[in-house]
Amino acid sequence: MKYKKLFEPIKIGNVELKNRIIFPPVSTNFASADGHLTDKFIKHYARRANGGAALIIVENVCIDYPGGKKGAFEPRIDSYDFLSDWEILTKEIHKQGALASLELAHPGYKDRGVDSLSEKEILAISEKYAKAAEIAKDAGFDMVEVQGAHGLLVNQFLSPLTNHRDDRWGKPIEFAVKVRKRIAERCGWDLPVTIRLAVEDLSQGGIGITEGKALALSLSSGAYNMIQADFGLGPKEKRLEPMAYPEGWRAYLAEAIRPLPVPVAAVGVIRNPETALSILEKQADIVALGRTLIADPDWTNKVKEGKEHLIRKCIGCSECIKARHDEDAAIRCGVNPNVGNEEDIMKAKHKKIVAVVGCGPAGLEATRIAAERGHEVHLFCKEFGGQLNIASVPPGKEKIRWLMEYYRNALQGCGNITAHHGEYAKESIMAIDPDGVIMATGAKPFVPFPIVEGIVYVYDEVLRGTVKFENKIIVVAGGGFVGCETANFLAGNNEITIVEMLNEILPGVETLTRNYLVNELREKGAKVMTKSKLVEIKKGEVVLENTGNGHMEILKCDGIVVATGGKPSIPFAIGDRAHYVVGDAKEVRKIADAVREGYMAAKQL
Ligand X SMILES: Cc1cc2nc3c(=O)[nH]c(=O)nc-3n(C[C@H](O)[C@H](O)[C@H](O)COP(=O)(O)O)c2cc1C
Residues that bind ligand SF4 (CB under 6 A): 291, 294-295, 314-320, 333-335
With CB cut-offs between 5 and 8 Å by kind, which of ligand X, ligand SF4, none does residue 333 bind?
ligand SF4
Binding residue for ligand X (CB under 6 A) from 10, 22, 25, 162?
Answer: 25
Which positions from 195 through 214 interact with ligand X, judged by CB under 6 A?
196
With CB cut-offs between 5 and 8 Å by kind, which of ligand SF4, ligand X, none does residue 247 bind?
none
- Identity of the residue, 153 or 438, whose beta carbon is nearer to ligand X in the bound complex: 153
Burial 80-113 (b: 16+ CB within 10 A, else e): eebeebbebbbebbbebebbbbbbbbbbbbeeee
With CB cut-offs between 5 and 8 Å by kind, which of ligand X, ligand SF4, none does residue 295 bind?
ligand SF4
3-class DSSP state of 196 = strand
Binding residue for ligand X (CB under 6 A) from 291, 304, 368, 397?
Answer: 291
CB of 501 to ligand X, least distance (A): 32
Q: What is the largest CA-CA distance in the chain?
A: 83
With CB cut-offs between 5 and 8 Å by kind, which of ligand SF4, ligand X, none does residue 24 bind?
ligand X
| Separation between Cα atoms, residue 39 and residue 46, nearest integer Å | 10
> Site map for ligand X, 266-285, x if CB under 6 A?
-xxxx---------------
Q: Which residue's C-beta sits nearest to ligand X?
A: 290
183 binds ligand X (CB under 6 A): no
103 binds ligand X (CB under 6 A): yes
Burial 487-501 (b: 16+ CB within 10 A, else e): bbbbbeebbbbbbbb
Which positions from 48 through 77 interact with ligand X, judged by CB under 6 A?
59-60
| Separation between Cα atoms, residue 396 and residue 461, nearest integer Å | 19
Report CA-CA distances (Å) from 179 to 12, 482, 493.
Answer: 18, 48, 54
Q: Residue count at the site for ligand X (CB under 6 A)?
A: 24
Which residues, in sequence order, are bridge partners of residue 498? 476, 528
- Identity of the residue, 20 or 291, whose beta carbon is nearer to ligand SF4 in the bound complex: 291
Binding residue for ligand X (CB under 6 A) from 21, 122, 233, 320?
Answer: 320
Nearest to 271 by CA among 248, 255, 253: 248
289 binds ligand X (CB under 6 A): yes
CB of 220 to ligand SF4, least distance (A): 30
Nearest to 366 by CA among 89, 584, 196, 594: 594
- Identity of the residue, 169 or 231, whose beta carbon is nearer to ligand X in the bound complex: 231
Nearest to 494 by CA among 519, 512, 467, 531: 467
340 binds ligand X (CB under 6 A): no
- Identity of the residue, 136 or 333, whose beta carbon is nearer to ligand SF4 in the bound complex: 333
With CB cut-offs between 5 and 8 Å by kind, which of ligand X, ligand SF4, none does residue 315 bind?
ligand SF4
Nearest to 57 by CA among 30, 13, 27, 97: 27
- Identity of the residue, 234 or 290, whose beta carbon is nearer to ligand SF4 in the bound complex: 290
- Identity of the residue, 294 or 437, whose beta carbon is nearer to ligand SF4 in the bound complex: 294
At residue 396, what is the residue type? G
Q: How many CB atoms lie within 10 A of CB 466?
A: 10
With CB cut-offs between 5 and 8 Å by kind, which of ligand SF4, ligand X, none does residue 267 bind?
ligand X
- Identity of the residue, 313 or 324, whose beta carbon is nearer to ligand X in the bound complex: 324
Indicate the angle between helix axes 119-138 and 174-187, nearest 10 degrees: 40
With CB cut-offs between 5 and 8 Å by kind, which of ligand SF4, ligand X, none does residue 26 bind?
ligand X
With CB cut-offs between 5 and 8 Å by kind, which of ligand X, ligand SF4, none does residue 579 bind?
none
Which residues, in sequence order, are bridge partners of residue 581? 439
CB of 450 to ligand SF4, least distance (A): 38
26 binds ligand X (CB under 6 A): yes
| Separation between Cα atoms, residue 110 and residue 115, nearest integer Å | 13
3-class DSSP state of 37 = coil
With CB cut-offs between 5 and 8 Å by kind, which of ligand SF4, ligand X, none does residue 196 bind?
ligand X
| Long-range CB pairs of 266-269, under 8 A, 24+ apart, other chains included | 266/229, 267/24, 267/228, 267/229, 267/230, 268/239, 268/241, 269/241, 269/245, 269/316
| Separation between Cα atoms, residue 461 and residue 473, nearest integer Å | 17
- Identity of the residue, 289 or 356, whose beta carbon is nearer to ligand X in the bound complex: 289
With CB cut-offs between 5 and 8 Å by kind, which of ligand SF4, ligand X, none does residue 60 bind?
ligand X
Report CA-CA distances (Å) from 63 to 39, 105, 183.
Answer: 21, 7, 13
Task: Provide the binding-site residues for ligand X, judged by CB under 6 A.
Answer: 24-27, 59-60, 103, 147, 150, 196, 239-240, 267-270, 289-292, 320-321, 324, 331
